[in-house]
Structure 1
Amino acid sequence: MRDTKESRLLLVLLIAVAFALITVDIRGGENSPVDGARRGAATVFGPIENGVSGAVDPVGDAVSAVRDSGGRHDRLAALEKENAALKAKLGSDDRNRSRLSQLDKMLKLAGQGQYGIKGAQVIAIGAAQGFSWTITIDAGADDGIRRDMTVLNGDGLVGRVTTVGPGTSTVLLANDPDFTVGTRMEGTDELGFASGQGDRPMRVQLLNGKAEVKKGDRLITFGSEADKPFVPGVPVGVVSRVDPSGGDLTRTVYVTPYVGFTKLDVIGVVVQAPKKDPRDTVLPAKPKPAPTPTVTVTVTPTGGANDTSGRSGDGAGLPDTRGTGARDSQGTGEPDPQSTDDQQP
């Protein structure tokens, strides 16, 4: 329809009529004069409305989904965030449990050796100060740390402090090629010097070239003058290989360290040396040998007094000599004169 003066007048008249009908319908209530017309219109246009509604329902659902998608996305994001927080908490709990276990083990070792220690955590690893095997710990001069202090953990000797800052320190690990520590053999007291070899076992030169040493023997630190850089009695490692003695003045053995240098976390710096050398008391308990299984062999006899299958247990297996005149019944080796066969004419 074109926008003309007549069309505008018609639209105004229709609106006026609609308002009039609405007013009459509202005032009439249930007895409204247009009620019949409304029912007729419902009868005619009801099916059409249902069809149109069915057709546009998917569109309406889509519109509602779009309208509600923001809320669902927010809820999903919140759930994902909560899930991530729970996972982080579980991981943190596992790590805390691991640290508590390491700390407990270290405190037991320090108690056995009567070492006064300052606990710290490893915060960095790698080359520093020109050293190839070092760690950085979160304790320094402000915590009482000084250069050339022994560093240990719950397993044994970790290294020694080389550089100290206000809040951090650098530790040279015992497996560094520049690291050397005096050692003492458990039981025999044979002395030597252990040197680091990176990821290989430590190399120990025993001062006695004829020292009796075997695989499985254990070493501890011998200690230094004034307990710097090493206090005595700290477990070093276990002998894993012994070079043949060639008559040299020293003897070489190889020692697997107790400490895993690639998985350090909680460590302790010995800030107070023991008043008395703990000697071998700090070493871990030796593993008990596995019990040797005992094999018991039971022999079951296959014959006895009732066995008459040719054995001489009751004489039943002897040859029968009755009625055989050809044999000597007197044991003389001659034919029996009483034999009926010998009396034939």
Structure 2
Amino acid sequence: MRDTKESRLLLVLLVVVAFALITMDIRGGENSPLDGPRRAAQAAFGPVENAVSGVVDPVGNAVDSVRESGKRGSTITRLQKENAALKERLAQNTRTRTQAAELDSMLKLAGAGQYTIKGAQVIAMGAAQGFSWTVTIDAGSRDGLARDMTVVNGDGLVGRVTTVGPSTSTVLLANDPDFTVGTRMEKTGELGFATGQGNRPMRVELLNGKADVHRGDRLVTFGSQAGKPFVPGVPVGRVVTVEPSGGNLTKTVEVQPFVGFTRLDVVGVVVVGPRKDPRDAVLPPRPTVPPTVPPTATPKQSPQPGGSPTPSDTGSALPPGTEQSGAPSSTPDSPTSNPNSGD
């Protein structure tokens, strides 16, 4: 449409008419004279609006879905991060509880043996190739540690300190083949020397070839002079195999260590040994086994012909040819000869 004077005049006229109709509609309220034409227009153009809305709505819904998917994606990411943080916190709490239990057990062992210990944590484990079993702990000379100190945990003997740095130290574990410690048998006091065998039980050579040793007997450390490298009374392990001596001067047994060397965490280095040898005091008490009562056998009665009880039933046993008192004696029916008779 060209921009002419007539077209401008028509546009102004249409605007004036529109304002006039709006004013009449507002003033008329419910009785507006335009209510009838409005209803007619709704009836005429309503289906067209619905058709256009049906075509346009899927597009709008698709756009909304894209927008909502972005929001949902960010929500899922946030929830995943929160879930990971909760799992990490739970793992830390579990580890804290485990370490607290290990520390409590170690303090009880130190209290029973009257050891003064310095707590430390295993921060690295040496290579196990070639039967080399060592760990690194986060304590060193600054913490009062020195070479040839005994290392324990809540279960017993872990090893001894071999090298010491300012803030870390290396511990040779008791299952290393180069590790040897003097031992004492529980109760009997038989002495020997235990040597590590890697993943296998420790090998112990008892000095007495005739020592009375049984499976399940326990051993503790014998101790060294001035408590280095080993303090006395630390639990070592339990006998699992007793080899026949065969007339040898020594007896060999295999001992399963109390300590699990592949799961070490919290350990204690004994910086001051006990004033008195605790001997077996550090060992936990043995579990008590309730005595077994043998079942009582009930005697069985064997019925006799005629229903008469047997001697075992009456509780008396008569020797052959004897009778019970009060029972009439029976004589044979054959006649008896009288030596004084002349008949």
Shorter chain as normaliser: what TM range? 0.7 to 0.9
Secondary structure in 1 matching 2:268? strand
**Post-superposition offset of 1:145:** 1.4
**Post-superposition offset of 1:165:** 1.5
Are the aligned partners of 2:140 and 2:167 in contact in 1 as well (CA < 8 Å)?
yes
**Post-superposition offset of 1:21:** 5.0
Are 1:311 and 2:302 counterparts? no
Residues 13 and 243 of structure 1: is their aligned pair in 2 closer, same or farther, counting only changes over 3 Å? farther
Could you tell me how far apart the structure 1 residues matched to 2:237 and 2:77 are? Answer: 52
Letter in 2 for 1:198: G
Could you tell me how far apart the structure 2 residues matched to 1:56 and 1:63 are? Answer: 11
Are the aligned partners of 2:125 and 2:135 in contact in 1 as well (CA < 8 Å)?
yes
Are the aligned partners of 2:183 and 2:219 in contact in 1 as well (CA < 8 Å)?
yes
Letter in 2 for 1:278: P
Could you tell me how far apart the structure 2 residues matched to 1:56 and 1:185 are? Answer: 92
Are the aligned partners of 2:173 and 2:261 in contact in 1 as well (CA < 8 Å)?
yes
Are 1:193 and 2:193 counterparts? yes
2:182 is aligned to: 182
2:115 is aligned to: 115
Secondary structure in 1 matching 2:240? strand
Secondary structure in 2 matching 1:71? helix
CA RMSD of aligned residues (A): 2.9
1:82 is aligned to: 82
1:224 is aligned to: 224
Once the two structures are superposed, the pairs formed by residues 243-254 of structure 1 within 5 Å of their partners are 243-254=243-254
How does the TM-score come out when normalised to structure 1? 0.81
Could you tell me how far apart the structure 1 residues matched to 2:8 and 2:193 are? Answer: 112
Letter in 2 for 1:331: P
**Post-superposition offset of 1:25:** 4.0
2:142 is aligned to: 142
Structure 1 residue ranges without an equivalent (≥5)? 1-5, 315-328, 335-345
How does the TM-score come out when normalised to structure 2? 0.81
Are 1:23 and 2:24 counterparts? no
Across the two proteins, how many residue pairs are aligned to each other? 311
2:277 is aligned to: 277
Structure 2 residue ranges without an equivalent (≥5)? 311-329, 336-343
**Post-superposition offset of 1:64:** 1.4
1:168 is aligned to: 168
Residues 98 and 21 of structure 1: is their aligned pair in 2 closer, same or farther, counting only changes over 3 Å? farther
Could you tell me how far apart the structure 1 residues matched to 2:11 and 2:269 are? Answer: 94
Q: After superposition, what is the alpha-carbon deviation per residue over 1:164-189, rounded to whole angstroms, capped at 9, x for unaligned?
A: 11211111100001111111111121
Could you tell me how far apart the structure 2 residues matched to 1:115 and 1:233 are? Answer: 10
Q: Which of 270-279 and 48-57 deviates more?
A: 48-57
Letter in 2 for 1:292: T
**Post-superposition offset of 1:312:** 2.8
Letter in 2 for 1:177: P
2:341 is aligned to: none
Could you tell me how far apart the structure 1 residues matched to 2:210 and 2:86 are? Answer: 61
Are the aligned partners of 1:175 and 1:198 in contact in 2 as well (CA < 8 Å)?
yes
Are the aligned partners of 1:25 and 1:35 in contact in 2 as well (CA < 8 Å)?
no
